[in-house]
Amino acid sequence: MKKQPHLTAQTKQNLIEAFWALYCEQRIEKITVKDITTKAGYNRGTFYEYFTDVYAVLEEIENALIPELDELPPVSLPTGNLGMPIDAFLALYAQNEKYYSVLLGDKGDPAFASKLKNAIKPSLMRVLSEKPGMNLTELDYIIEYTLSSMIGIMSYWFKQPEPLPGDELFKLIHRLMEQGVMKQLSV
């Protein structure tokens, strides 16, 4: 007899969605298996047919949100110059806004930011290291610096009650990356 992929996939999805609804409101340590199954309408034991524990649900969600290599933002600018593909980052973030803003927020998972950075970093490294005379160690720090600021400002953006229009944010980030922050601040 075959499995019933429809049914089980649905059950799993129901559990995931119940988990996510709870995770949006509270820290993961406060979420019990009972909370999840009650919300999803199952027996507590059923949960263990699909996940080993509460953290496994989070991990599954996170892994689905780590961009695959082929979905990664293109790293070459239209001009042919190298640089950071800001618009691609914005698009990636906006596409998964609902999840990213929670996972990267104050009640989220501190490891997720690292996962995200580590998924994006290699392809950036590969392309940007082509610049003649580029110091690889330094490049590594520059990328880390940039991804941190991108993730930071995007999370902040989504957290605002009245966010800046998207194109203004884009222009601002562009200016900061092209000219540096100091130029925007000093007299």
Query: Which residues bind to DNA, rule: CB under 7 A?
Result: 1-5, 7-8, 11, 32-34, 37, 41-46, 48-49, 52-54
Selection from DNA, a copy of itself, none that 161 binds (CB < 5 to 8 A by kind) is none
Using the rule CB under 8 A, is 73 a contact of a copy of itself? Answer: no
Distance CA 89, CA 93 (A): 6
Selection from a copy of itself, DNA, none that 34 binds (CB < 5 to 8 A by kind) is DNA
Using the rule CB under 8 A, is 167 a contact of a copy of itself? Answer: no
Buried b (16+ CB within 10 A) or exposed e, 12-39: bebbbebbbebbeeeeeeebebebbbeb
Three-state SS at 112: helix
- Least distance to DNA from the beta carbon of 18, Å? 12
Give first-to-last CA distance, the chain, whole Å: 75
Distance CA 49, CA 97 (A): 30
Instruction: Name the token pair of 112.
Output: 């997720």
Distance CA 28, CA 91 (A): 28
Distance CA 83, CA 86 (A): 9
Site for a copy of itself in 98-137 (CB under 8 A): 104-111, 114, 128, 131-132, 137
- Least distance to a copy of itself from the beta carbon of 117, Å? 8
User: Do 155 and 104 touch, CB atoms closer than 8 A?
Assistant: yes
Closer to DNA at the Cβ: 46 or 149?
46
Using the rule CB under 8 A, is 173 a contact of a copy of itself? Answer: yes
- φ/ψ (deg, to 5) at 106: -70, -25
- Least distance to DNA from the beta carbon of 15, Å? 9
Contacts to a copy of itself by CB under 8 A: 28-29, 77, 81-84, 104-111, 114, 128, 131-132, 137-138, 141-142, 144-149, 151-153, 156-157, 164, 169, 172-173, 176-187
